[in-house]
A and B are shown apart, each in its own frame.
Chain A
Amino acid sequence: GQNIDQPTEMTATEGAIVQINCTYQTSGFNGLFWYQQHAGEAPTFLSYNVLDGLEEKGRFSSFLSRSKGYSYLLLKELQMKDSASYLCAVIDPDYKLSFGAGTTVTVRA
């Protein structure tokens, strides 16, 4: 089975940095995704990690440690439009995605 944990909510101010942690225990691992989801919309792809280390893409970075079953998504220079739910998801060798419950990030002015 899959067990994916991430915090429920986080709040930060505009221009700040927020780190969303995700821990996982899965029966099969073929990579880890981070998605952003605004209310009432489908998830949009942010990042994909399959090897250990940091992947940087603009204001967003994602880190993976497979030995620790741990990932984080780092959001820099926060903007109001970054207020959304952020989903951690693990993909197994059958290409099935298992999602965490999501972290709601609220950016305050």
Chain B
Amino acid sequence: QLVLTQSPSASASLGASVKLTCTLSSGHSSYAIAWHQQQPEKGPRYLMKLNSDGSHSKGDGIPDRFSGSSSGAERYLTISSLQSEDEADYYCQTWGTDIRVFGGGTKLTVL
């Protein structure tokens, strides 16, 4: 079964960097994922598609502060130079021919 696992929460200081993790279920380590950001009271926003080799392509207007990387079944989102507006929920998403799957989301607090 295709499942994505995320830690429920993370925190980091203003101006620092943070690395969020999304883990693919056993047998699915070759899958690409996407990262989405959801600021409070807003719809989600697509950040990037992240492949198993770590290559990634970002959505329109996504700042260079957002980057992605991969290792085995783990997919990472790194946000550098944290700003207050980065405080949001971050969801990873993957897909098969007939299904779309979301991780449970990570709530990022900027201290």
The yes or no verdict on A and B being binding partners is: no
Residues on A lying within 8 angstroms of B by beta carbon are none
Residues on B lying within 8 angstroms of A by beta carbon are none
